[in-house]
Structure 1
Amino acid sequence: MSKSTKVSNPNAKGGSGFIWAIVAVIAIAAAVIGYIVLSGQGKKTEHLADRENISVAFDSTFADNAVTLKSADAKPDAEVVDLYEDFSCSYCGQLAENTDEQMQSAIEAGDLVVNVRTLNFLDRGSIDGHSTRAAAAALALAEAGETQAYWNLRAYLMEDQEDIFNKWSNDEFADAAKQFGASEGVVEKIRSGANVEPTNALATANADKLNAETGSVSSPRVIQDGKDVDVADINQWMSVVLG
């Protein structure tokens, strides 16, 4: 007589061990993925800890859609200009790299007051574009009065834009701000993206102002008394303005 073979029902009590084993494997996999994600946060910006953090001796105020950089000892006859820039503009990056040090010296000497007016026209209307999100990060610092962190983050976003263009999320912008000394509240504001929509409105208003004064929108631009500074090479604008 042949022996019968009994097939176990996987839904029976004895199969519960198998089900719990699958659940355990899934839980472990989720934990591993979570660890990888968390351990990877900040990796794109950790090198900024080795970057020189430039000290500044001027103040910043955030009003009228601009960040005004001005020394407490600014002279009554200090020259005042509007600097229009876009964080996706390679020429703006070159201008910042070539002239920021000289601009800082002139501001700190009380000879120059600069209204930095951020644009985002290179996002082509996308509110989630690189220009807008980079500007939102920098302007969150300016709005909080964290001038040194603003100045250093702005410089990095301009000078190294080729390396980060369209590669960063709000997390990376927040981590970068933290590396430059931003307060925890501002870091979390950047991370949440809460400042992106207001920044888009600000940049649009700046574009409207530039267009109304000059008839066109482009960057970089240095405007004084409603007109472009008359200079063949924009990298030499301070020589003209300061005489």
Structure 2
Amino acid sequence: MSQKIKAPNDKNRNFLWGIVALVVICVVFIGFMVFNGRKSTDVELSAADVSFSVAVEDGVVQLRSDDVADDAPTADVYEDYSCTHCADLVEADSESMEGALDAGEINVNLHTVNFLDSNGNESSSRTGAVAMAIAETGDAGAFWAFHEKAFGDQAEVARDWRFDELADAAEQLGVDSDVVDSIRDESVMDQYKPNLQANGDRLRELMGDQAGTPALYIDGEYLTVERDPEDPSKLKDWVPDVIGGEAGDAPQESAAETESSDSE
């Protein structure tokens, strides 16, 4: 029997086509991974419509109404953007807090800490620094929208988004371009991380070994974060009680388990 003799270049040609196909597959795969990694910001973000102001002083985000009542209580909230219980508290109190701020019934100081940075994943510092940078622009609507998004979608935003995604979000919120650039080039970390650490040190001075988040003080007095009596799986909205009456009890057995500084 006779065999068909193949041209000597056939094997080389087949090999080259195989290489081309492999390169195309790799390019498609890399493109998919890049797209998939950035798709988290494929959401429409817009600044909140609020009637209060925002400022940063000594690393503390201050929320105030221009028409705040003289006897309005001041709430100091210690929170960590990676803390699940902090996200639970934001879910419980954000709507009433916004309303009370708009009405001038309360002053709020947000002390952002970075207790839960761990294993090289500085999610608490990263998101906290970005939030502080947005707050320092004085755009209360942009800050409040970012704060709500970061805690409301904590697993996606606060824990997974990197600086490019966070910069994209800030840009959507109308934040000044120089601030967006400082987020994208990560320089916000050097600028604001020391503030987060200082806030954590301040909470340790207040609570000692019990230091953890969320922690709430009303006019300097510790207020226990309680479980919602109607749904113990959630935290109670503390704002109506504070506006309508006196608050304050010893920082002992909180009904909500806090995420401790020992988790660093």
Which 10-residue stretch deviates more, 101-110 or 225-234?
225-234
What TM-score does the superposition give when structure 1 sets the normalisation length? 0.78
Matches within 5 A, 1:52-71: 53-71=47-65
Structure 1's 125 and 78: CA in aligned 2 closer, same or farther, altered over 3 A? farther
SS where residue 79 of structure 2 aligns?
A: strand
Output the aligned Cα RMSD.
2.6
Matches within 5 A, 1:7-156: 36=31, 40=35, 43-47=39-43, 49=44, 53-124=47-118, 126=120, 129-156=122-149
Q: Structure 1: how far apart are the matches of 2:60 and 2:219?
A: 16
Q: Structure 2: how far apart are the matches of 1:53 and 1:61?
A: 16
- Are the counterparts in 1 of residues 46 and 142 from structure 2 also a CA contact under 8 Å? no
SS where residue 120 of structure 1 aligns?
A: coil
Shift of 1:97: 1.8
What corresponds to 1:191 in structure 2?
A: 184
Count residues with an aligned counterpart.
211
- Are the counterparts in 2 of residues 46 and 179 from structure 1 also a CA contact under 8 Å? no
Q: Deviations over 1:20-60 (max 9, x none)?
A: xxxxx9xx99xx79x949x848532022x1x5642111001
SS where residue 213 of structure 2 aligns?
A: coil
Amino acid at match of 1:202: N
Q: Structure 2: how far apart are the matches of 1:89 and 1:149?
A: 22
Q: Which has the larger radius of gyration?
A: 1
Shift of 1:133: 0.5
Structure 2, unaligned runs of 5 or more: 1-19, 228-234, 246-264
- Are the counterparts in 1 of residues 130 and 166 from structure 2 also a CA contact under 8 Å? yes
Q: Structure 1: how far apart are the matches of 2:91 and 2:153?
A: 10
Structure 1, unaligned runs of 5 or more: 1-24
What TM-score does the superposition give when structure 2 sets the normalisation length? 0.72
- Are the counterparts in 2 of residues 42 and 175 from structure 1 also a CA contact under 8 Å? no
Structure 1's 230 and 121: CA in aligned 2 closer, same or farther, altered over 3 A? closer
